[in-house]
Amino acid sequence: MFCQSCGAQIPEGGSFCAQCGRPVGGSSVPNPYAVQSAQTNSLPNDEDFDVYVRSVNARLGTGTWVPYLNAWQYYDEEFRIKWGASKMKRFSFVTRMDRVDDALVRQFSAACTQYALDHYPGMARGMQVGIASFAVIASRNIEQSAVQQVMRTPPAHFAAFEMPVLLDLTTGAIYHMQKTPLWGALMWKDLRQYVDQMFSPLWAPHAPSQTVQVPIVDSQGDGAGNCLFTCPGCGSVWQLPQGQGLVPVQCPGCGKKVQVHT
């Protein structure tokens, strides 16, 4: 099946075109969640991205594929007294794009935030309930305008937080806002820490072989298909999928490079 508007192929059962956002049948009403150019399914396989998604799965549980966004979606909740005895409902979205500029960052982050606001469960926002949307874009071709965009203060929302994140699949660098806006000031530091803990790449990107020796660290299984290892540099405990052999890892906490027996 092909889109009558742009000619892109649409999977069987699809309601919208992932290329132009128009619904099947040629109506002029766009899909509110469609993200142009974020065509993860049409890109060649990227081993580093596949490994990255598995490492996110190990931290947040297996994601759900959202065709509207061409992204993996994760959901969790947390209650803290310091947040005014409030609960944060966190939606995270991970996608891969061939090229990323500032316009795509804004578009994808806005679409993810709207999706989270439309689909969160439970009580209404503002009644000791907040929503967080993390839009993670992985790419090997990130324009400087995109990095500048994620560093800017995001749009303000009622009882909701929007944070776009960039991951450079070539260098392993991760970029997100470091500011603390006045609105929601109690939350932003914890949201940044959450991004660093959940979305920093535990798996080092593939690179030409080097002669530098890095320490080998043992791990132990948690009984759920994952293994836990302790960073010898800072003592942080991290999780990886089991059965992957000897895996190169860079600790998100202190940056120390090790190899982990999984």
| Portion of the chain with pLDDT greater than 70, in percent | 77
Residue 87, pLDDT > 80, answer yes
How many Å separate Cα 107 from the centre of its chain?
A: 15
151-187, pLDDT tens digit by residue? 999 999 999 999 999 999 988 889 999 888 877 778 8
- In the chain, what are the domain boundaries? 1-31, 41-199, 216-261
260 near 246, Cβ under 8 Å?
yes
pLDDT band at 40 (very low <50, low <70, confident <90, very high): very low
Rounded to 5 degrees, φ, ψ at 144 are -60, -30
E strands, 140-181, are 160-168, 174-175
- What 3-state class would DSSP assign to 191? helix
Q: For residue 208, what pLDDT is reported?
A: 43
User: Does residue 23 register a pLDDT over 60?
Assistant: no
The DSSP 8-state label assigned to residue 239 in this structure reads E
